[in-house]
Chain A
């Protein structure tokens, strides 16, 4: 379903040109749970960003269901992000001025769904993630685990086909990490979604069906 073919990417760092990806080939099948494992700096986050159209690449091709992403303009990419992808980040990235409910409903605003319909979509998600009692709290009032679960709710708001998680347990303790991983694994199965997860922790990667290792900008 998602197909990376000899993707190369470099950027200008403080010391000169840095090659983040040196020819990455990766196939992600529909419905699979894939983990990309590697040390920090190996380029795994870059791969995830490219998959989610959050970043560009220098050369190679990226096909989404046989369609080349190079033909997409910015608006097209935004549409894809809205329809196909849900993101979960290590740092949660919640908007501090919004409540749990509003944060979870954020994608719905850009989908131009009328506000009256938001509750019907968001509330079941919050309940499933055991957050319903916190819906009017702000992120600063929540624990790390609760914040990440809010972020997961947000990633599911538009019912995307693909979930992309970048070190989702990186800022959590082991108990919360387990809980979040159980949730992700469960949600993914229930929704028949594709889940691509990036981590440096092999225990987290082991939740996946398939583990792929990256080292120094390449898949090994």
Chain B
């Protein structure tokens, strides 16, 4: 989870206080995963240590305002541009579940997949609702939601394919 890179991006806009950084981070990620202050300060320390950000003004003053350094800007660009481990398609949570399901009987597998599909649809409903209630202008958030929706759609399609196949095989066996 690249919390530090989000901080760097936020600091390109303006110099910020730790508290502000947390607020903005949470809001950006739609409060899906809120940071605790421990995470915030450990991240900031690491960034400072690596020279990506610098403290502004008096080190002794109460308010610690940070600013981004040229090195920081470079790091941010580098991170944005390089293809990383976006999603480990074959080895995410679902893959592990599938491996587990292999052990179960076909009938149980079928029922679990049906329940799984229902869950996926419920999640998509949630995301769609969020999209509807999103105020104007939050392009980033909208795109994020769209991505989630499309990914869910893909998973649902896959689930349907599985169910079809299982049904066919079931017919063949019976």
Contact = CB atoms under 8 A, between A and B. Distances in A.
A73 to B, nearest CB: 40
B149 A203 contact: yes
Interface residues of A, number: 12
B124 A202 contact: yes
A209 B121 CA distance: 11
Given A211-B121, A211-B125, A206 B132 contact: no
A111 B90 CA distance: 60
A203 B153 contact: yes
A202 B132 contact: no
A182 interface: yes
A4 to B, nearest CB: 21
Contacts, number: 28
Contacts of B156: 202
Nearest to B124: A206
B101 interface: no
Interface string B117-136: 00001001101100010000
A105 interface: no
Interface in A175-220: 182, 185, 202-203, 205-209, 211, 220
Interface in B89-122: 114, 121
B121 to A, nearest CB: 5
Contacts of B121: 37, 202, 205-206, 211
A179 B128 CA distance: 13
Contacts of B125: 206-209, 211
Nearest to A202: B156
Contacts of A211: 121, 125
Which of A203, A207, A208 is the most central at the interface, judged by chain B CB atoms within 10 Å of its CB?
A203
Given A203-B124, A207-B128, A220-B114, 11 more contacts: A202-B121, A202-B152, A202-B153, A203-B128, A203-B150, A206-B121, A206-B125, A206-B149, A207-B125, A209-B125, A211-B121
Interface of B: 114, 121, 124-125, 127-128, 132, 149-150, 152-153, 156
10 contacts: A182-B132, A185-B132, A202-B152, A202-B153, A203-B149, A203-B150, A206-B127, A207-B128, A207-B132, A220-B114
Complex A-B, nearest 4 residue pairs according to Cβ-Cβ distance, in ascending order: A206-B124, A206-B128, A206-B125, A202-B156
